[in-house]
Amino acid sequence: MTNIPIEEQTFFGHPKALFILFFTEMWERFSFYGMKALLIFYLTKYHLFSDDTGNLLIGSYAALVYAVPVIGGFIADKYLGFRKAIVFGGIMLVLGHLGMAYEGNAATQSITGEITRDNLALQVFYFSLAMIILGVGFLKANISSLVGELYSVGDKRRDSGFTLFYMGINLGSFLATIVCVWLGESYGWSYGFGAAGVGMFFGLVTFISGKKFLMGKGESTNQPFLEKRSFGLKNEWLIYIVSVLSTLLFWQMVQNHDAVSIALQVAGGVSFLYIVYYAVTKLDGKAREQLIALTILIVFTIVFWALFEQAYTSMNLFADRILDRHIFGFEISAGQFLSFNALFIILLAPVFAWLWVKLGKYNPNTAVKFALALALVGLGFGALVMGINLSGVGKVAAFWLILAYFLHTCGELSLSPVGLSAVTKLSPVKIVGFMMGVWFLATASSEFIASLLANIASVDTSNGLAPDLNVAKESYLKLFEYLFYTGIGFGAVLLALSPVIKKLMHGVDKELNN
Ligand code: GLN
């Protein structure tokens, strides 16, 4: 083995670098999802936020977390290169997650209902979120783009590379939703959040120590700019400094839902105009149409993730309040139910990847797969509606939430890994990083919309608890019914549009799924 040059060394038939990225992203997602699974409970039970304010805070945070990758992707494309951006993002993430471990004092509620909160602890918490936002912004889209860079054009291993990478994401999420939720609920919030930080530290070490396997991939294409000095400092350092200073802005924004809403609209509008400008002035024929196809597909992902992301707000609270959480005599905590999504991904990702290949010429095109995904996420809510209707006056059986996660996962597998791969194939090479950022910007809007949707099911709480089971059930029923119809409806619309989108993709799509 030792005589084979690194560039030719493979593992499971893939470049070794894929596994460096796999484990880095595994740990990054461990920290991300470990924290996210605890978040709604931390807000509603520890800081005694109402459902509404808890949902909206998660919406603002998650929207920013997925919006900033557009800027992170752009900076990596133009200046830093993917590798340096990932290292910088990783450092910010370790700091942010460790900051979350400071919990301060629990809020108290007086008999008259007045709530006293530890404001210092809350400000530390918001600032930690700001660091995580910046960290994900530099890491998330760029690590996905770097996976794409490991394969040359037409390399048939690209899709299976993304499938493996996606399993890494979910291995991290699976471990996190078991371990961090357990630590957080049994020993205290700071243990759960702290564990997330330690996980991210492992991720950073993995990435830095695996540098040689990247073989110069992901390096800056604009080294002279980085070396050049402005204001007496190397431009590279200026980028880091300005980025760190931007945490001050995110720190304030995360506390202001309206500001996030405006920022999303501006970012969405500007990105859209840039895509149009690029398509009109720099591209023609096939490349232009492929970019248009990708943009249409990305718009539909907004609906998918807005429904899917209920997992961390309304579905998580539903599991806590309404679900009989006993399985085979064991009681599972609400946040741990999220691990079913990750577990199903790990089990089913290879099955789906195999299925697409097996279907050969009957393999549905990407637009049809996305339509299927929308229908499946809708059906997942259908399962919850059925579970609630069958539960009488008692709690809902755990089976229905597990079935919902199963259907949501099948939807995710028809959209997410396929979509990541599509971004790297349908975008012009020069703007892959940016388009990957736009892919995540769509999720950002979804997260924001998801929090507004989750509020449909908000119930009045006292000391962090929902007092009446049946009143709570009614509000979840209303939300889930609505989401069921939304998923099915948008799925049907996309299915109707799919022949047009297929044409615009010019067969790249077929190449994708082999
Ligand atoms: N669960 C996936 C991840 O964390 C997809 C997230 C997304 O694109 N919304 O990477």
What confidence tens digit (pLDDT) does each residue in 464-474 have? 777 687 888 99
Query: Does residue 174 have its Cβ closer than 6 Å to ligand 1?
Result: no
Query: Does residue 443 have its Cβ closer than 6 Å to ligand 1?
Result: yes
Compute the distance from residue 139 Cα to the ligand 1 centre, in Å. 13
Confidence bin at 137 (pLDDT 50/70/90): very high
Confidence bin at 511 (pLDDT 50/70/90): low
Q: Give residue limits of the domains in the chain.
A: 13-513
For atom 5 of ligand 1, the residue with the nearest CA is 416
**Which pLDDT belongs to residue 507?**
82
Confidence bin at 159 (pLDDT 50/70/90): confident
Spell out the residues 6+ positions from residue 471 whose beta carbon is closer than 8 angstroms to its own. Answer: 459
Among 390, 439, 384, which residue's Cα sits nearest to residue 416? 439
Spell out the residues 6+ positions from residue 480 whose beta carbon is closer than 8 angstroms to its own. Answer: 381, 384, 385, 388, 457
As a whole-number percent, the residues of the chain with pLDDT over 90 amount to 69
List, for residues 74-129, the tens digit of each pLDDT value: 899 899 999 999 999 999 999 999 999 998 888 898 888 888 888 999 999 999 99
Which three-class secondary structure string do you get for 373-399?
Answer: HHHHHHHHHHHHHHHHHHCCCCCEEHH
Q: Which of 14-23, 125-134, 289-298, 477-486 is predicted with the least confidence, judged by mean pLDDT?
A: 14-23
Q: How far apart are CA 19 and CA 23, in angstroms?
A: 6
Query: Does residue 169 have its Cβ closer than 6 Å to ligand 1?
Result: yes
**Which pLDDT belongs to residue 341?**
95
As a whole-number percent, the residues of the chain with pLDDT over 70 amount to 96
C-beta neighbour count of 350 within 10 angstroms: 13
Average pLDDT score over residue span 40-66: 93
In this model, does residue 238 exceed pLDDT 90? yes
Residue 230 bridge partners (DSSP): 233
Q: Which of 334-338, 377-381, 411-415, 465-469 is predicted with the least confidence, judged by mean pLDDT?
A: 465-469
Q: For residue 170, which atom of ligand 1 is closest to its CA?
A: 1
**Which pLDDT belongs to residue 512?**
47
Q: How far apart are CA 327 and CA 336, in angstroms?
A: 12
361 vs 451, more confident: 451
Q: For residue 32, which atom of ligand 1 is closest to its CA?
A: 4
In this model, does residue 272 exceed pLDDT 50? yes
Q: For residue 29, which atom of ligand 1 is closest to its CA?
A: 4
Q: Which of 27, 136, 169 to mutate to test the pocket of ligand 1 (most atoms within 8 A of CB)?
A: 169
Compute the distance from residue 331 Cα to the ligand 1 centre, in Å. 28
Q: For residue 144, which atom of ligand 1 is closest to its CA?
A: 10
Compute the distance from residue 420 Cα to the ligand 1 centre, in Å. 10
Query: Does residue 445 have its Cβ closer than 6 Å to ligand 1?
Result: no
Q: For residue 446, which atom of ligand 1 is closest to its CA?
A: 9
Average pLDDT score over residue span 255-264: 94
Q: Which of 175, 370, 416, 440 to mutate to test the pocket of ligand 1 (most atoms within 8 A of CB)?
A: 416
In this model, does residue 514 exceed pLDDT 90? no
In this model, does residue 139 exceed pLDDT 80? yes
For atom 3 of ligand 1, the residue with the nearest CA is 169
Compute the distance from residue 358 Cα to the ligand 1 centre, in Å. 26
Question: Pairing mode, if any, of strands 108-109 and 115-116?
Answer: antiparallel
Confidence bin at 359 (pLDDT 50/70/90): confident
In this model, does residue 421 exceed pLDDT 90? no
List, for residues 177-201, the tens digit of each pLDDT value: 999 999 998 899 999 999 999 999 9
**Which pLDDT belongs to residue 247?**
97
**Which pLDDT belongs to residue 285?**
86
In this model, does residue 417 exceed pLDDT 90? no
Query: Does residue 29 have its Cβ closer than 6 Å to ligand 1?
Result: yes
C-beta neighbour count of 359 within 10 angstroms: 11
For atom 7 of ligand 1, the residue with the nearest CA is 443
Between the alpha carbon of residue 135 and those of residues 67, 80, 101, 231, the distances in Å are: 12, 15, 17, 25
Compute the distance from residue 412 Cα to the ligand 1 centre, in Å. 9
Query: Does residue 163 have its Cβ closer than 6 Å to ligand 1?
Result: no
Query: Does residue 416 have its Cβ closer than 6 Å to ligand 1?
Result: yes
Per the CB < 8 A criterion, the answer to whether 365 and 505 are in contact is yes
Average pLDDT score over residue span 405-433: 91
Compute the distance from residue 199 Cα to the ligand 1 centre, in Å. 18
Compute the distance from residue 109 Cα to the ligand 1 centre, in Å. 36
CATH of domain 13-513: 1.20.1250.20
Per the CB < 8 A criterion, the answer to whether 176 and 34 are in contact is yes
Q: For residue 33, which atom of ligand 1 is closest to its CA?
A: 4
Query: Does residue 177 have its Cβ closer than 6 Å to ligand 1?
Result: no
Average pLDDT score over residue span 422-434: 87
DSSP string, 390-443: HTTTSPEEHHHHHHHHHHHHHHHHHHHHHHHHHHHHHS-GGGHHHHHHHHHHHH
Q: How far apart are CA 303 and CA 256, in angstroms?
A: 23
**Which pLDDT belongs to residue 3?**
65
Compute the distance from residue 227 Cα to the ligand 1 centre, in Å. 34
Average pLDDT score over residue span 206-233: 90
**Which pLDDT belongs to residue 5?**
66
Confidence bin at 242 (pLDDT 50/70/90): very high
For atom 9 of ligand 1, the residue with the nearest CA is 443
Compute the distance from residue 184 Cα to the ligand 1 centre, in Å. 23
Confidence bin at 510 (pLDDT 50/70/90): low
